A and B are shown apart, each in its own frame.
Chain A
Amino acid sequence: MFSDLLKQLVESGILFRAIWETVYMTLLSTLIAYIIGLPLGVILSVTAPSGVRPIPWLNRLLGVIVNIFRSIPFIVLMVAMLPVAKLVVGTSLGNAAMVVMLVIAAAPYIARMVESSIKEVNAGVIEAAQAMGTSQFRLITRVLLPEARPSLVVGAVISTVTVLGYSAMAATIGGGGLGAIAITWGYQRSKEDITWVCVILIVIVVQVMQEVGMRIARRIDKRARQ
């Protein structure tokens, strides 16, 4: 029922390596993207007209930049960013280049996620903190981020799954992972069973990430009665 090729992929460990590559690329890219996206999202929410420190020009400028990156389809962005990858990791091919692409695509997305999480923080709580003489920096670090934490975690789960979806396109620039297996072995050699195995594995990885993430989010949210 299964092709010999699939058996070979499993026995040689190529398939397991692909799973690991997918997970690794996804998590690493998301993590790096957060280093850029989190501060960006905080600045977007804080400088908004309704934020705790409105700075209209900065808010609009960042908003426009984020929107431009968000509106470019990933596949186009990838081609456009080949030189950037070359600049950053010295090559425009393979997994390392793919991580650069994923970070560029995910950071603006994450910025918007973070922005909306912070905007959900109860205005009354912010007001109470301001009335207590909280400085703007501490308002961010001690009130906005901790109060938004459960929502930030949910955002992180959604972002991770999105990045995982993008990472499946790694094959187009010679990267690895389950997407690459599906294309190079399943599609190009017309081995449908390989394609399906890859699809199922990706679904499983997504499910596991989703489940673990949501469980963490629920556990750390103290708003629900326990």
Chain B
Amino acid sequence: MIEIKALTKTFHTRTGTLTALDNINLSIHDGEIFGIIGLSGAGKSTLVRCINLLERPDAGEVWLDGRDLMKLSNRELLEVRRGIGMIFQSYNLLEQRTVLRNVLFPLEISHTPRDKARERAKELLELVGLADKADAYPSQLSGGQKQRVAIARALATQPRYLLCDEATSALDPNTTASILELLQVINRTMGVTIVVITHEMAVIDKICHRVAVIDKSHIVEMGAVNEVFANPQSDIARELILPHVKTTASVRGGPRVRLVFNGESSYSPVVSNLVLECGVPVNILFADTKDLDGKAFGHILLELPDDPRQSGRVIAWLDRNHPSYSLEVQ
């Protein structure tokens, strides 16, 4: 279990002092995937770096499995870090080492016998699906492959914890999905507790059990992912989960309609037909749709004109032509 108590971290720079984290309290339970989400500069990276004391807090405590990390000697701290894997947005592989020797690195550091180390490294490359790339260099790999190597390397010393700082932020959606699946497998089959830092709600939604929302150095909300998603309390959580709610695109402020596409129709003509047939302009506030085999999935949020006669016409049209829509309450 990771416990963070009343943690505060301030940076002193030439331009003044900056409080990156202010009175952070949280516990991460064994076996869970814990998400930390927030906008850029919120303090997410600083917070994970405090977990393995890459960054030393100014005040507060960091406890890992009942040990107060701040009280450990340097030597003990190195030992503790070997039990915490970490992966990064920029992969951070050793560029002059092959894939296999990258995975061997933490094993060299922890004085694992050579034969055992090689065996373990090969197993891990098998696990992440890169056994055939053992002798390649990082520069010869794609982003997704590099992150897989980084994961294999992070798991080499059989850590009980894995910290992921924006591990998928540089990857395309498909690769992101496959990396997230891999993390899930690691969590389920190896029982590794995973801390996921991200600014993408989709990542939290996909794999996390619990989530903490961090904004301007504070945790503003924390709880089970489905609860936070269903009923976000803080402005920042609402903004992250429902990106349209705070949008200011509307100047007329009419009713809002959400069109949902679940594969029954193709979305492209709907909006244009609506506009043409009703003769009413609408505002597209938000759209998240995918075209799979010619079928539309996702949703579009429309803002209708303020004039009730015009908006009434649109709603009547939708009743006839596009049954899956809902009026948004504001």
Contacts and interface: CB of A to CB of B under 8 A. Distances in A.
Interface string A191-226: 000000000000000000000000000001111111
A133 B88 contact: no
Contact of A226 (B84, B92, B140): B140
Interface centre among A125, A135, A220, A224 (most CB of B within 10 A): A125
Contacts of A124: 88, 90, 92
A222 B98 CA distance: 9
B94 A125 contact: yes
A128 B88 contact: yes
Interface stretch (A86-94, A101-109, A111-119, A141-149): A141-149
A129 B105 contact: yes
Interface centre among A131, A149, A221 (most CB of B within 10 A): A131
A221 to B, nearest CB: 8
Contacts of A127: 54, 88, 92
B88 A224 contact: no
23 contacts: A124-B90, A124-B92, A127-B54, A127-B92, A128-B93, A129-B94, A130-B81, A131-B54, A132-B105, A132-B157, A133-B110, A134-B78, A135-B109, A138-B109, A147-B95, A150-B96, A220-B96, A221-B96, A222-B95, A222-B96, A222-B97, A223-B96, A223-B137
Contacts of B138: 222
A-B pairs, 9 with minimum CB distance? A133-B81, A128-B92, A124-B92, A133-B82, A131-B86, A133-B78, A222-B137, A132-B106, A125-B92
B54 A130 contact: yes
B108 interface: yes
Contacts of A190: none
B52 interface: yes
A122 interface: yes
Given A132-B81, A133-B79, A134-B109, A122 B92 contact: yes
Nearest to B75: A135
Contacts of B98: 222
Contacts of A133: 77-82, 106, 109-110
Nearest to A124: B92
Interface residues of A, number: 26
A133 B53 CA distance: 11
A143 to B, nearest CB: 7
A223 B139 contact: yes
Given A122-B92, A133-B80, A226-B140, A128 B86 contact: yes
B161 to A, nearest CB: 11
Contact of A224 (B139, B153, B154): B139
Given A142-B105, A223-B96, A223-B139, 16 more contacts: A124-B88, A127-B88, A130-B54, A131-B52, A131-B54, A131-B84, A131-B86, A132-B86, A133-B80, A133-B106, A135-B109, A146-B94, A147-B94, A149-B96, A150-B96, A222-B97
Interface in B189-237: none
Contacts of B150: 128
